[in-house]
Amino acid sequence: MESQVRGGTRWKRFAVVMVPSVAATAAIGVALAQGALAASFSVSGQSFKVTADSLHGEGFSQYGAIDSGYTLDGKKTAHPVAVSAFKNASITNMCQSVVTPDIPLLGSVSLILKAGGGGTPVQAENLYIDVEDLEANATFHNIDIGVAAKDASKGPGIGKGDAANPYGFAQQADSADLTDVKQTAWATTAGTFKLSGLKMSLSKGVKECY
């Protein structure tokens, strides 16, 4: 059984860690590119944008949750998200951007990360994406709609620490294929996140993937 969806699907957004030291950011990125670190990324109080030419995932599940965090001025935040989980994922031509506004003397600063080009996709294991908004062409293979989140056995299960109702609505599929992906997310977690051909850049002003 296959199901095709175009546009408007709500998914979790990918996230990038903004740290004070550019050198530290580069070191983390190199380690991830070499598959040396488990990855848990979030931007406190901020969403970020991601585009990809394609995403192929094996062992897919999706359920609702609440992301909580803090804004840059210390206020608590909470955001409803759709958690998209994959046992394994392959992502081609990924772009990820986050804008930090109102930095003294600089104004807005944009961080852009690109990876997965040149014929070598980004690879991830036990990937969880907290998505707020998604536009894509999507095909789901052997999809089950309306299972309880705790019973979604095709994916990697409910993420550790996710504020999700285990009896709430969920869906799952043997695999999922998305193309022309544009999404906004609040967090990403992966057991392994290997970024081939990693390129990161910081620039003044607002520059995003889309």
Domain annotation covers residue 210: no
Check: CB of residue 121 under 8 Å from CB of residue 197.
no
Domain annotation covers residue 81: yes
pLDDT of the chain, 210 residues: tens digit per residue: 554 444 443 333 333 333 333 344 444 455 555 544 455 555 556 889 999 999 999 999 999 999 887 777 778 888 899 999 999 999 999 999 988 888 888 889 899 999 999 999 999 999 999 999 999 999 999 999 999 999 999 999 999 889 999 999 999 999 999 999 999 999 888 888 898 999 999 999 999 999
Which residue, 65, 73, 71, is CA-closest to 44? Answer: 71
Q: Provide the CB-side half-sphere exposure for 60 (13 A, CA).
A: 26
Domain annotation covers residue 36: yes
Which residue, 111, 106, 7, 3, is CA-closest to 50? Answer: 111
Taken as a whole, the chain contains a residue count of 210
CB atoms within 10 A of CB 4: 9
Domain annotation covers residue 23: yes
Burial state string for 139-170 with b = 16 or more CB within 10 A and e = fewer than 16: bbeebbeebebeebebbbbbbeebebbeeeeb
Give the integer Cα–Cα distance in Å for 146 and 167.
11
Domain annotation covers residue 7: yes
Domain annotation covers residue 11: yes
Question: Per residue in 109-160, pLDDT tens?
Answer: 899 999 999 999 999 999 999 999 999 999 999 999 999 999 999 999 999 8
Domain annotation covers residue 207: no
**In 3-state terms, what secondary structure has residue 150?**
helix
pTM of the model: 0.80
Give the integer Cα–Cα distance in Å for 202 and 195.
18
Please give the mean pLDDT across all residues of the chain: 83
The DSSP 8-state label assigned to residue 158 in this structure reads: S
Containing domain of residue 26, as a range? 2-202
| Structural domains in the chain (count) | 1
Q: How far is CA 44 from CA 161, 167, 187, 200, in A?
A: 16, 28, 9, 19
CA 202 to chain centre: 20
Domain annotation covers residue 208: no
